Amino acid sequence: MIYNEAEAGKRLDKWISESFEGISRSMAASLIEAGNCTVNNVIIAKNYKLKTGDEVSLIIPNAKPVGIIPEEMPIEIIYEDDDLLVVNKPRGVVVHPAHGNESGTLVNFLMHHCGDSLSGINGEIRPGIVHRIDKKTSGLLLVAKNDFTHTRLAEQLKNRSVTREYQAVVSGVVKESGTVNAPIGRHKIRRKEMAVNGLNPREAVTHYEVMKNYENATHLRIRLETGRTHQIRVHMAYIGRAVLGDEVYGNGKPKWLEGQCLHANKLGFTHPRTEKYMEFESELPEYFLKLLGQLRER
Q: What is the mean pLDDT of residues 196-201?
A: 92
pLDDT in tens, 200-247: 899 999 999 999 999 999 999 999 999 999 999 999 999 999 999 999
117 pLDDT band, cuts 50/70/90, is low
Strands, E, within 145-204: which ranges? 163-171, 178-181, 184-186, 194-196, 199-202
pTM: 0.77
Asked which of 95-109, 111-125, 153-167, 280-294 is least confident by mean pLDDT, the reply is 111-125
Dihedral, CA of residue 30, residue 36, residue 41 and residue 47, to nearest 10: 0
- Give the model's pLDDT for residue 26: 73
Per-range mean pLDDT, top range of 163-167, 191-195, 200-204? 163-167
Average pLDDT of the chain to the nearest whole number: 86
Exposure string (b/e) for 42-74, b if CB count within 10 Å is 16 or more?
eebebebebeeebebebebeebeeeebeeeebe
- Does 246 participate in catalysis according to the annotation? no
111 and 127 Cβ atoms separated by less than 8 Å: yes
Residue 118 has pLDDT above 90, yes or no: no
Q: Which position among 54, 134, 147, 246 bears the catalytic label?
A: 134
- Give the model's pLDDT for residue 185: 94
Residue 63 DSSP SS3 = coil
User: What is the spatial distance between Cα 84 and Cα 78, in angstroms, rounded to a whole number?
Assistant: 11
162, 182, 295 from 144: Cα distances, Å: 14, 30, 39
pLDDT in tens, 12-57: 888 887 776 557 677 788 788 878 888 888 888 888 888 888 888 8
Percent of the chain with pLDDT over 90: 51
Residue 189 has pLDDT above 50, yes or no: yes
- Give the model's pLDDT for residue 127: 63
Asked which of 140-149, 202-211, 249-258, 277-286 is least confident by mean pLDDT, the reply is 249-258
Residue 293 has pLDDT above 60, yes or no: yes
Residue whose C-alpha is closest to residue 139's, from 280, 35, 44: 280
Residue 125 has pLDDT above 50, yes or no: no
Residue 124 has pLDDT above 90, yes or no: no
- Give the model's pLDDT for residue 265: 97
Q: What is the mean pLDDT of residues 67-78?
A: 85
